[in-house]
Amino acid sequence: MTNTVDSKKRRDLVKGIGLLAISLPLGVKREPNALAGPHEKKRVLRVAHITDVHIRPEYNAPERFGRCIEEIKKHKVDFFLNGGDSIFAADYNNITRERVNEQWAIWKNARERFKGYEVYSCLGNHDMWWACPDKSDSMYGKPHVIAQLEMPGRFYSFEKHGWHFIILDSNNDNAGSLDAEQRKWLENDLASLRRGTPVLCMSHYPILGVSTIMEGGNHTDARYITNLFNKHRDKTITCISGHIHLLDEAGYDGVRYYCNGALSGFWWEDGDSDSAAKCYYRETPPGYAILDLFEDGSVSNRYYPHSF
């Protein structure tokens, strides 16, 4: 007997799992009164989740990004959630001021494509320019990114149609993680919600994942976050993330965790020997997710691969 699976078989298997995730949206039901049948559910919002856009001048990425946005708009979404790593990379030691500015200029230009839509962003690990020579420079670190993405702060929450949205900042010591200030804020934010409130929580790093067991990239404080969520079993909580560029879905303690691949796939490049097809990162095609949010707190999360 052998416990090794040949790599092709494994690839096919993982591909199959990926397809399942694409075609079978799963609802989240934690409250007994949320057990309405599929025909009784009322959709209250449709949201696009784009993550790891990694916009860059190379590989014709700006134009390809524009075509993705045009396709997403056809889904008639109410607004966009942008999961971080909006630009290719500002975080490496050799990145110059010019290179940072060039990337944000492309982002700003691309943003015109979906003018009229609200975009709620979170910080990705590649967005910050830590190599800025002077820490008092306005381009150093998180404040500059917050300004570029027109965010109200590095973490925040907002309400829409009875849904509560939480946007986290995973970029702290031992990332992904929440710092002490953010933990306190999150505890208070959840405590302020009435019983039964549906919550959609977006982070850059996955809070929990299946592929992260093999690949890493998980929140290192998942135990703290899942403990906190357990104290709020009276709400319906769904989490979405990016960062690992993989399509992944996990469920734990009544909370579903969707990692929605990457819009840039293999950073807009063709891929490498581990890519299952052109532009894929491993088994995951470049794509975006469309989330339907229902009145009863359930969520349909569908991943749409794109071919641009």
Give contact residues for Zn ion (rule: CB under 5 A). 85, 124-125, 243
CA-based radius of gyration for the chain:
19
Smallest distance from Zn ion to CB 94, Å: 18
Instruction: Give the amino acid at 293.
Output: L
Smallest distance from Zn ion to CB 51, Å: 9
Contact 106, 145 (CB under 8 A): no
Contact 55, 86 (CB under 8 A): yes
Taking CB positions, which residue lies at the least distance from Zn ion? 243
Residue closer to Zn ion by CB (options 124, 261) is 124
Residue closer to Zn ion by CB (options 235, 243) is 243
Smallest distance from Zn ion to CB 43, Å: 30
Nearest to 229 by CA among 247, 203, 204: 203
Residue closer to Zn ion by CB (options 28, 100) is 100
Q: What are the tokens at 278?
A: 């052109």
Residue closer to Zn ion by CB (options 124, 198) is 124
Distance CA 174, CA 170 (A): 9
Residue closer to Zn ion by CB (options 128, 279) is 128
Smallest distance from Zn ion to CB 263, Å: 12
Distance CA 308, CA 248 (A): 22
Smallest distance from Zn ion to CB 64, Å: 20
The contacts of residue 67 (CB under 8 Å, 6+ apart) are 306, 308
Residue closer to Zn ion by CB (options 125, 197) is 125
Contact 206, 217 (CB under 8 A): yes
Q: Is 304 exposed, middle or buried (0-12, 13-18, 19+ CB in 10 A)?
A: middle
The answer to whether the peptide bond before residue 176 is cis (omega within 30 degrees of 0) is: yes
- Cα 42 → chain centroid: 24
Smallest distance from Zn ion to CB 170, Å: 9
